[in-house]
Structure 1
Amino acid sequence: MSVATELELDVVPAAPERLADGVVRLTLRHPAGAEMPAWAPGAHVDLVLGPDLVRQYSLCGDPADRSVLQVAVLHEPAGRGGSTFVHGLTGGERLRLRGPRNHFALEPAPRYLFVAGGIGITPIVPMLAAAEAAGAEWRLLYGGRTRASMAFVEELRSMYGDRVEVVPQDERGLLDLDAALASAPDAAVYCCGPEPLLAAMEQRCAPGSLHLERFTAKPDTEPKAAFEVELAQSGRTLVVPADRSILSVVEESGVPVLSSCQEGTCGTCETGVLDGVPDHRDAVLTAAEREAGDVMMICVSRCAGSRLVLDL
C-alpha cells in the first residue's frame, strides 16, 4: 500500500532578511529556476530542516509571483530548534519543502476584520492584498509586544494607511477586541496569533463568523479512553490505547501515513472516516467539517465511541 502523496520539492533559500527584532523573511527558489507551486492567501508549507526537524510556516509573499515562496520566521530561542535553524541559514543551502496546503483560506465577503498578534501577521499580509484587489471593505487590528518586534508595520501602513491599526503593547496596552468587533458587526473575521488572543476571539465571536489559524496546539485536557480502529483498505483492526494516538498505532502497524506537526495544527494527516464518530481535537477543521464527521486529524483526534473505520 502506498502513502497518499503531496507535492515535495527541493528549494534553495536566500540569506534571511531581517524584518523586525527577532523576525526574518526567508525567500525560497527552485534550484533549477522553475516556477514555484501555486498558492492562495492563508496557505502554509512544511520546511524539512533536518531528519526530525519539520516546521510549518505561513506564506507571506505575493501569490502572483511564481518565482519564489516567502515565509517569515520568529526566532524562539527556547523553542524546539526550527527557528534557530532558519535564523542561522546563510543562503544557498538545500531544503525540502512540502505543500502548500491551506486550512485558512480567505472566503469571499463584502467586508473583513483582520486581527493579528505578533508573528500571526504572516498569513494575514497576502489576505489584505486579496481583499483590496476584490474591492472589499476591510480593517486590520495588529498587536505586538513592541513596535520594533512587529514585522511588516511600515510596509502595511504605507500601502493601506489608517485601515491598519498598529497596537504595540508597551505603548497602548492590549488590543481592544470588543471595540473592533463592535465596529464591524457583519464582517468576516480572520485572526492569527498567540493562543490567548485566539481564545479571546473565540469567546467573543458567533460560530461561523470567525476564521482562525493556530501555530501551536490548543491545550487538550479532555479525558482519553481506548478504542478500536478498522483500517478499511488494509483490512486490519487495531486497538488505540488511552495514552497513544491513532497515528502512532497505525504507523507502528506498518501502514504509511503522511504526517508533519503531530499536534493537530497542520492538516497533513487528514484521514477519511467511513464509520464511527470522531472526537475532534485538532485546530484545523471548521465547525461544519467537524459536524460532518467524514474526515479527522489522526495525530490528535480520537473516537467518541468505541470504534472507527478509517480510509487507510
Structure 2
Amino acid sequence: MLSADGTFPVIVVARQHETPDVVSLELALPDGGELPRWTPGAHIDIEVGDAGVRQYSLCGDPQDRFRWRVGVLLERDGRGGSRYLHQQVAPGSTLTVSLPRNNFALDEGRTYIFVAGGIGITPILPMIAAAEDEGASWSLHYGGRTRQSMAYRDEVSVHGSRVSVLPQDECGLLPLGDILAGGDPSAQIYCCGPEPLLAAVESALGPAESRRLHLERFRPRTVGEDSGPDRDFTVKIVSTGATIRVGEDQSIVDALEDAGITVETSCREGTCASCETSVIEGEVCHRDSVLSAGEREQSASIMLCVSRARSDLLVLDL
C-alpha cells in the first residue's frame, strides 16, 4: 500500500459543502480496506496537483477505520492547494496522502478548554468526542467571521451549554480573558485557528501557564528578533560521524541533501514536523511552528527545514 516515500492513494467517496467556503471530503482506500489508525489532533499530507502538498486535520471519528474526513477552507488568496481540492476533486477522484502525524495530541486530563477560530475547529472535533468518552469536563469557545461561515456549527451545538458559538459580527472578538480566567486553573487548553487568535491566547497566559497550552498552527509563526542573523555552522551525523557545513543561506535539509543524505520533509516551513530530528548536542535556534515554548527550551529536537544552530556544532541523531 505504501510507496517508497510513505504515501498511498485514497478515493474520495463523499463530498459535502459545510459552508460556501468549506467542503468536507471523506476518503477511503481503493480496495475498501482499513485505513491506518490515528488519534485526535492528527493531520495528513495531501498532494494537491501543481500546488504541491498541504496538511489537513483529520476531523472524523478515529474509531472509523474505513473513512477519513477532512475539512478544506477555500483560501481565495492562497497558493492554490485549497482551490485544487474545491474545484478539481469530486467523489471518485484519487488523492495521494501520507500516514497521519500528530503534533497536537490530546493529553489525558480531567478538564479541557477548547478554543477554535474558523477552520481551526477541525482538529477540535475529535478531541471533543474523546473528552466525552473519557467523561472529562470540557468547554468549547468557537469564533468565526459570521455564523454562516462557521463550519460544523450544528455538529458541535448538540453539546448544549458546553459550547459557545461566537460569530465576530454578532459578538466581537472571542473574550479570551474571560474564557481563560474563568476556567479550571489546571485545565488543558487547546487552541487552533488564525495566527492573531493564537498570539492572543499566548499573550493572555503567563509563562507559568504555558505548559498547559497546546496550539496548532496552519501557517508558520512569526519568528522573534531574538532568533538572530543566519550564520554558518556544522552538523554532525551521530550514526556515521560525518560532518556537513551549513551555509548562512542554506537550510539544514538543503545542506544534508547536497551531501547525499535524504531527510523526510513535507511542508518545508516548520509546520508539519515530518523532518523533526533528535538533537544530541548543540544549541538550537528554533524557528518552527510545532514545538511548545517548553519544548523549545529543552531543545531535545529540531525541525531541520527551518531551524538552525546557535552553536558552531550541532550533533543530530541521524
For normalisation by structure 1, the TM-score amounts to 0.94
**1:280·1:301 contact (CA, 8 Å) conserved in 2?**
yes
Paired amino acid for 2:264: L
Answer with 216-225 or 53-62: which moved more.
Answer: 216-225
Answer with 286-295 or 97-106: which moved more.
Answer: 286-295
Q: Unaligned 5+ residue runs, structure 1?
A: none
Determine the C-alpha separation between the residues in 2 that align with 1:166 and 1:96: 34
Query: Helix, strand or coil for the counterpart of 2:120?
Result: helix
Q: How many Å apart are 1:280 and its aligned residue?
A: 1.4
Match of 1:302 in 2: 308
Determine the C-alpha separation between the residues in 1 that align with 2:216 and 2:18: 22
Q: Does 1:28 align with 2:27?
A: yes
Determine the C-alpha separation between the residues in 2 that align with 1:94 and 1:121: 26
Determine the C-alpha separation between the residues in 1 that align with 2:240 and 2:86: 43
Deviations 1:204-235 (A, max 9, x none): 12221211000000123532222111223354
Q: Does 1:267 align with 2:273?
A: yes
Paired amino acid for 2:180: L
Determine the C-alpha separation between the residues in 2 that align with 1:122 and 1:161: 19
Determine the C-alpha separation between the residues in 2 that align with 1:235 and 1:58: 38
Bigger RCO of structures 1 and 2 (CA < 8 A, at least 6 apart): 1
Determine the C-alpha separation between the residues in 2 that align with 1:287 and 1:145: 29
1:114-263 to 2 correspondences below 5 Å? 114-157=114-157, 159-186=158-185, 187-205=187-205, 206-220=209-223, 221=225, 222=227, 223-263=229-269
1:6-21 to 2 correspondences below 5 Å? 7-21=6-20
Answer with 282-291 or 58-67: which moved more.
Answer: 282-291
Query: Helix, strand or coil for the counterpart of 2:211?
Result: coil
Determine the C-alpha separation between the residues in 2 that align with 1:298 and 1:93: 33
Deviations 1:93-127 (A, max 9, x none): 22111120101011111111100000000000110
Q: How many Å apart are 1:250 and its aligned residue?
A: 1.1
Answer with 85-94 or 117-126: which moved more.
Answer: 85-94
Match of 1:94 in 2: 94
Q: How many Å apart are 1:43 and its aligned residue?
A: 0.4
Q: Tell me the percent identity.
A: 50
Match of 1:37 in 2: 36
**1:264·1:300 contact (CA, 8 Å) conserved in 2?**
yes
**1:231·1:237 contact (CA, 8 Å) conserved in 2?**
yes
**2:51·2:79 contact (CA, 8 Å) conserved in 1?**
no
Q: Unaligned 5+ residue runs, structure 2?
A: none
Q: How many Å apart are 1:15 and its aligned residue?
A: 4.6
Which of 262, 282, 297 is residue 276 of structure 1 equivalent to?
A: 282
For normalisation by structure 2, the TM-score amounts to 0.92
Determine the C-alpha separation between the residues in 2 that align with 1:15 and 1:90: 8
Determine the C-alpha separation between the residues in 1 that align with 2:240 and 2:54: 30
Deviations 1:39-96 (A, max 9, x none): 1100000112236611100000000111111100000021111100111212212211
Paired amino acid for 2:165: V
User: How many residue pairs are counted as aligned between the two chains?
Assistant: 307
**C-alpha root-mean-square deviation of aligned residues, in Å?**
1.6
Determine the C-alpha separation between the residues in 2 that align with 1:50 and 1:202: 35
**2:7·2:98 contact (CA, 8 Å) conserved in 1?**
yes
Determine the C-alpha separation between the residues in 2 that align with 1:209 and 1:289: 12
Determine the C-alpha separation between the residues in 2 that align with 1:234 and 1:95: 37
Query: Helix, strand or coil for the counterpart of 2:306?
Result: coil
**1:8·1:99 contact (CA, 8 Å) conserved in 2?**
yes
Query: Helix, strand or coil for the counterpart of 1:207?
Result: helix
Paired amino acid for 1:70: R
Deviations 1:138-197 (A, max 9, x none): 11000000111100111211x201211011111111100001111104211100000000
Determine the C-alpha separation between the residues in 2 that align with 1:245 and 1:272: 17
**1:106·1:127 contact (CA, 8 Å) conserved in 2?**
yes
Determine the C-alpha separation between the residues in 2 that align with 1:235 and 1:106: 37
**1:113·1:184 contact (CA, 8 Å) conserved in 2?**
yes
Q: 1:52 to 1:79 in 2, by over 3 A?
A: closer
Match of 1:62 in 2: 61
Answer with 20-29 or 43-52: which moved more.
Answer: 43-52
**1:188·1:210 contact (CA, 8 Å) conserved in 2?**
yes
Determine the C-alpha separation between the residues in 2 that align with 1:278 and 1:51: 34
